[in-house]
Amino acid sequence: MSVEELKKSIRDIPDFPQKGVIFKDITPLINDKNLFREAVDLLAGPMAAEPPDCIVCIEARGFIFGAALAYKLGTGLVPVRKEGKLPHRTKKVSFELEYGSATVEIHEDAVLPGSRVWIVDDLLATGGTLEAAVKLVEGSGGKVAGISVLIELDFLKGREKIKGYPFSTLIHF
C-alpha cells in the first residue's frame, strides 16, 4: 500500500464549512481498515525510535489518529479541545483560522514539565491550530519532540508558523 493510495481515498467537499473552502474528507480513509492501519503505521514511523511521553492531539479529527498512535506506541494521550469543552482547570490560546478565529484549551496538569510530547492532527492548513498547540505544550513545561499530520495543504504555508520542530506529513495537497 502506498501514500498515493491513501491520498486517493480522501475526497474533496466544496464549500464546506463555508463557501470557497474545499474540505478534505478523511472518512473514506478511516472507514477502510487497511488504509487506516497503514496511515497510523506511517504516522508512527518518526516516533517509533524514541516514543514520546505523550501524544497531544487536536479536536476533533486529530483525536482519531492521536488515540491510535498513543495505543500503538504505549504513550499517554492529551486532548486539545475547543474553548469550554474541558471540565478541569485549563490553559488556553486564541488564534486565527483560514476562515475565522478560535480558542483551544488543554488541562493545566495534562502535560508534565520536562515531558517529551508529539503533537498530532489530521491536517495542516494555515498553521494556527498547531501553533496554538505548541504554545499550550510549551506553556505547560513540555518539550515538543515533533509534530505529525496526515494532510498538509502546502499552498497555505502553515508550516511557516511552526518552524524549528521536527515535522512529518504523509499527504501533500
Q: Is 61 a catalytic residue?
A: yes
Please tell me the predicted confidence (pLDDT) of residue 139. Answer: 97
Sheet holding 116-124, edge to edge: 90-97, 100-107, 76-82, 54-58, 116-124, 143-152, 167-172
Residue 55 maps to a domain: yes
Q: What is the CATH number of the domain that holds 87?
A: 3.40.50.2020
Q: Is residue 31 part of a domain?
A: no
Of 49, 63, 39, 48, nearest in space to 119 by CA = 63
Q: Given this model, what pLDDT does residue 96 score?
A: 79
Question: Which of 37, 38, 59, 98 is labelled catalytic?
Answer: 98
pLDDT at 98: 67
pLDDT for position 164: 94
One pLDDT digit (tens) per residue for the chain, 173 residues: 799 999 999 999 999 988 998 999 999 999 999 999 999 999 999 999 999 999 999 999 999 999 999 999 999 999 999 999 999 999 999 997 766 789 999 999 999 999 999 999 999 999 999 999 999 999 999 999 999 999 999 999 999 999 999 999 999 99
Could you tell me the residue range of the domain that residue 98 belongs to?
50-168
What is the count of structural domains for the chain? 1
pLDDT at 1: 78
Residues with Cβ within 8 Å of residue 59, at least 6 apart in sequence: 79, 80, 81, 82, 85, 104
Predicted TM-score (pTM) above 0.75:
yes
Catalytic residue from among 38, 61, 81, 152: 61
Q: Is residue 121 part of a domain?
A: yes
